[in-house]
Structure 1
Amino acid sequence: MDPGIQMHHVESGGDPLAQWNISVNAIDVLIRKLVQENAELKAKIEDQEFQNYTLTTALSTTRSSFREKESLAKSLEVKLEEIQREVTISNARSQAERNLVMTLIDGDGYIFDRELLTRGEDGGRDAAKILSNGVMKHLSKEANRPASPDLWTMIFLSKDKLEAVLSRSSTCTAEQFRLFIKGFSQAQSLFSFVEVGPSKEAADHKIKEHLSKFIGNPKIFRVILGVDHDNGYSSAISSAMTNDPDQRLVLLQAHPDIARDIAALNLPMFSIDTLFKVDKLTTQAPSPPTSVPTQVAIVAGSYAAVAGPPKSPPASVAVTIKKITYSPEKNTIGWTKGAIKRNPPPCNAHYLIGYCNSPDCKYGHNYELSHAELSQLALGAKQQPCHYANDNQTCWVENCIYGHECPRGRNCTYLSRKTCKFIGKGMHD
């Protein structure tokens, strides 16, 4: 019952003391209720104040953290700009340092144009200029090319061998070739011919070593290779491509037919017009005198052969050896092993090519061979495989004195035993 109602009931007919007690009790209950509600409200207020404090503190912390992060972001932005400037400067410096363009040419296979060679020193200077301009023209197509590239060109060759071949083929005289080399080497400070000696693999070895040593050099922008004629370079080039993530190798094409293994590498390539001779060299020699058979022209299967200087005015007589077509049935037609009774045996190079470049050659050079002996010598040379053909390379010598196919053909018994000297592809077809 509501205390107010209860008090009213007492007032209307009860004991005053009882009425007082009831009123006091009612007031006490009301006070207790108010105190409890006040305590609950106070607790809520304190909780709200704590939450407010917590949120205020968190907000303050967040604002402080935001200001710190904002300051850090600005600091990092400034630092990033500094780093970007440093990177730009470093890239520019690196690009400026990576300005070396190295050109490695196999001079035994890349023969300069006859018009340049015959002009001697002037031709050499012009050849250097044509090569330089050709390289620069190629580089101009590259977006990241250096502003001022340094061209470093080395042509590796066996000078004495090439000099003799050029002279015998009437391409140029030995003196013109020497002057050509001089003019070429003096035209540019980093252009040079490099003599490698008489070894047939010397130029290959030098070029492969230079390629291996320099392909990882950070100063190298491009390495240009003049080796399109020789499959023997393919392995070294493939290895260099693997070790060069920047793909800096370029092929300088000089011949219309690129060696198969080189073409398979799919290197970027370019060519330079009028710089190199694209056709094969053809060697010739004057006809022999009628009185003394010291000079004999051997055609259709060998170089012209010069055994010695003529002892009388040259006549029009020459010994011609018919071109021999070998077949399995006819074996080595016309050739008899040991037919030339000379000790030591005559030197093939001296008598059939006209020049022997081996200072320690163990074969004879002073014989006056008969026509029959020269014929046997030429046929005998064909029993030996051509080094280039045997290595599956293009032989650029017209009328090469050595064999490009096995004389025994498909029925070669040595082939089945894998002991035949003729190992090139197609040599037994």
Structure 2
Amino acid sequence: MAHTNGSAHATTNGTSSKEHVASFWGRYEHLKSQDSMKNVLLEDVITRYENLVLKHNEYVMAHEEEDETLKAFHRREQTLMTSVNTLQNILNRDPFVLVLIDGDGMIFNNNFLRDGETGGRQAAAVLHDAVQKWSVEAVIETPPDVKVVVRVYANLGGLADVCTKAGLISSPNQLAEFARGFTRGKTLFDFVDVGAGKDRADGKIAETFKLYLYDYHCRQILFGCSHDNGYARLLEQYTDAEPLRRVTLLEGTPFEKELAILPFPTVKLGSIFRESKISVPGSVDLLTGQPPRPRIDSRGLSATSGVFTPRTNSPFSPGRGPIPQLDGQTTISQRLPHLRNNSIASSGNSSESASANSWATVAKTSSARLYSELPPTPTNSTSPPKSILRNLKGQRVDQTLEYDRDEVLRLKRLKMCNQHYIGNGCCHYNAGKPDKCPHRHDVKLSNQSRYTLRVVARETPCKKGFECDDAKCIYGHRCPFPLATEGSSRGSGMCLNGDNCRFPREMHGVDTKVVKRTLVTGAF
């Protein structure tokens, strides 16, 4: 029994030792696996940390670049803001209101004109204060000390002559003194004498208007042109929002019809300017040198009545020899001496006062308003064929017509039917439907006015152009306006109307030297 117990004990102890060793091995393997897991964990942590460090470095570098960019942007912004402030100060410096006045029609009040230079200074002061006050009230963001610039353009000699004859002033010198006083009254005021000539004031005003229309310093343009529909052609090109905000029409006489319908705002500055056009009572007839004859009621009178007898002292009266008719070989200058000599001879035995009204005297004192050509005498059916004048290129050359600008403007305002008076006759009127024609047919015209109406008709281009061979054609075959010598159209070959001219470009600058004639039939 003892032996058996001992063996069993040994066996038990042997088994226990093995299990104990095995447990160690098992614990070792467990620790080994845990170390592997720990190593894997540590490697993963280190890898992730390494990636974070790389991304952090990239972020820091990008942030540093953005920071430099931001700093550069702030520096540039400060520079630009400084420039903007400087430019804004420049733009806001010396704001002004421009007043453009056509002095041939916008006439200053009689009281100013009569006081000569003193009146000119007073007119300048009153106009300056009125414009400045109106600008502060009506123009947005206009400072109280806004400058006022005034340009008055006029034919000073012609205007002085008219004002004197109308009794507004006692002598032409008074208007010259007024203009001098007006110019001296304010530093930025100018009364400019453009001299005699068609549309000289109009052209200067139009170009000055275009020059300052979009000038930021010019806060407003007061356009004094209420008397002349011609300016509607200029203004109707600028009827969008910006010009309508920057231009105001200044009223003197009531606005003509075409100006009144334009969308521009208007203003009237008290009584600085005349509200009615100048009327010259008892003016001298420049053709006869005599006052105009009174209207006679011809009802009940015969053709032999004394009121129809021509005046004996008229240079165009019968018994003075035939007046040479204008043909292809007779020039205007050749006709004038004949007319003048007849006039002077007829007044040789008259008193000094009568001779003062002779053709020569009137022509000398009023040369700017003198008609130097008479309307051609109508020809009968037996007249020889007429000829169309042509230049070297075969282009039709219109015969030169001399005219009185004031008379042309007067006839324009009447809106007469050219075809009815000087053409082949208005089809509507001849058909008994005068209401279908937009022009007038009820005006009684003298031969001289019919002749001057040809000047008006020639401002409409002929549809046949240079090739027209109609001897009766009343329309223009070349632009009658002078070539532009100032402004954007200078050197372009266009007239002072620029791109707004009704004549095409090829009808400008036409050679007027006649080298041949095309014979046609029919009366002119």
Same fold (TM over 0.5): yes
The reply on whether 1:140 has 2:151 as its aligned counterpart is no
Alignment of 1:310-321 (within 5 A): 319-321=293-295
The question of whether the paired residues in 1 share the 8 Å contact of 2:369 and 2:406 is answered with no
CA spacing shift, 1:55–1:35, aligned 2, 3 Å: same
Contact 1:390–1:425 (8 Å) recurs in 2? no
TM-score by length of 1: 0.63
Q: Give per-residue Cα distances to partners, 1:159-216, cap 9 Å, x unaligned.
A: 2322222122222232322221221122123322222233232211111122233435
In 2, Cα distance between the equivalents of 1:62 and 1:246? 57
TM-score by length of 2: 0.53
Q: Does 1:109 align with 2:111?
A: no
Q: Please, what is the CA RMSD of the aligned residues? A: 4.7
Is 1:199 the counterpart of 2:189 in the alignment? no
Counterpart selection for 1:362 from 348, 369, 372:
372
Change (3 A) 1:107 1:246: closer
Judged with a 3 Å threshold, the aligned counterparts in structure 2 of structure 1 residues 143 and 210 are, in CA distance, closer, same or farther, namely closer
Alignment match, 2:177: 179
TM-aligned CA distance change 1:177 to 1:350, over 3 Å: farther
1:72-126 CA distance string (max 9 Å, x none): 65775565455434422331122115x3433221111101111211222211111
CA distance in 2, matches of 1:135, 1:36: 102
The Cα offsets for residues 34-55 of structure 1, whole Å up to 9 and x where unpaired, read as 3223212322233234434544
Task: Answer 1 or 2: higher relative contact order, Cα 8 Å, separation at least 6.
Answer: 1
User: 3-state SS of the aligned residue for 2:368?
Assistant: coil
Identity, in percent, stands at 20
Verify the 8 A CA contact 2:289 2:358 in the aligned structure 1.
Answer: no
Give matches, 1:22-421, under 5 Å: 24-25=21-22, 27-55=24-52, 58=55, 76-77=73-74, 80-81=77-78, 83-97=80-94, 99-141=95-137, 142-145=139-142, 148-173=145-170, 174-217=172-215, 219-239=217-237, 247-256=245-254, 258-285=255-282, 305=285, 308=289, 319-322=293-296, 343=323, 356-358=366-368, 361-363=371-373, 387-388=408-409, 391=412, 393=413, 405=416, 414-416=425-427
Residues 116-152 of structure 1, C-alpha deviations (whole Å, 9 max, x = no match) = 1122221111111111112211222234325654433
Select between 165-174 and 68-77 the one with higher mean Cα deviation. Answer: 68-77
Q: Does the 8 Å contact 2:150/2:190 carry over to 1?
A: yes
Question: Is the 2:419–2:426 contact (alpha carbons within 8 Å) kept by the matching residues of 1?
Answer: no
Supply the distance in 2 between the matched residues of 1:19 and 1:44 (Cα, whole angstroms).
37
The Cα offsets for residues 306-357 of structure 1, whole Å up to 9 and x where unpaired, read as 75589xxxxxxx9521489xxxxxxxxx9x9xx965626989x999xx7743
Q: Give distance in 2, aligned partners of 1:40 and 1:207.
A: 98
Q: Secondary structure at the match of 2:426?
A: helix
Q: How far has the Cα of 1:27 moved from its partner?
A: 4.0
Distance 2:182 2:424 in 1: 51
User: Does the Cα contact within 8 Å between 1:385 and 1:405 map onto a contact in 2?
Assistant: no
Conserved? CA contact 2:244–2:264, under 8 Å: no
Deviation for aligned residue 1:408 = 9.4
Query: Shift in Å at residue 66 of structure 1?
Result: 5.8
Post-superposition offset of 1:14: 5.8
Given that residues 134 and 272 in structure 1 are in contact (C-alpha distance below 8 angstroms), is that contact kept between their aligned partners in structure 2?
Answer: yes
Q: Deviations over 1:338-393 (max 9, x none)?
A: x965626989x999xx77433875259xxxxxxxxxxxxxxxxxxx99634654x5
Give yes or no for contact 2:125–2:185 (8 Å, CA) kept in 1.
Answer: yes
User: CA shift at 1:68, angstroms?
Assistant: 7.2
Q: Alpha carbons of 1:235 and 1:34: their partners in 2 closer, same or farther (altered >3 Å)?
A: farther
Q: Which amino acid aligns with 1:110?
A: M
Structure 2 unpaired stretches of 5+:
1-7, 299-307, 311-315, 324-334, 341-356, 375-404, 430-436, 443-524
Q: Provide the rounded CA distance (Å) in 1 between the counterparts of 2:55 and 2:257.
A: 76
Is the 2:99–2:151 Cα contact (8 Å) retained in structure 1? yes
- How many angstroms apart in 1 are the aligned matches of 2:371 and 2:420? 31
Contact 1:102 1:151 in 2 (8 A): yes
Report the Cα distance in structure 1 between the residues aligned to 2:9 and 2:80, rounded to whole angstroms: 98
Q: 1:407 and 1:52 mapped to 2: Cα distance? A: 100
How far did residue 56 of structure 1 move?
5.9
Amino acid in the other structure paired with 2:167? S
Q: What SS does the corresponding residue of 2:151 show, helix, strand or coil?
A: strand
Q: Does 2:440 match 1:427?
A: yes
**Residues 53-77 of structure 1, C-alpha deviation per residue, up to 9 Å, x if partnerless?**
5446656765786677568657755
Structure 1 gap ranges (5+): 1-10, 286-302, 311-317, 325-333, 365-383, 394-402, 419-423
- Between 1:84-93 and 1:238-247, the stretch displaced more is 238-247
Please tell me the residue identity of whatever aligns with 2:184.
Answer: Q
Task: Assess, with a 3 A threshold, how the Cα gap between structure 1 residues 388 and 64 changes in structure 2: closer, same or farther.
Answer: same
Cα gap change, 1:263 to 1:308, in 2 (>3 Å): closer
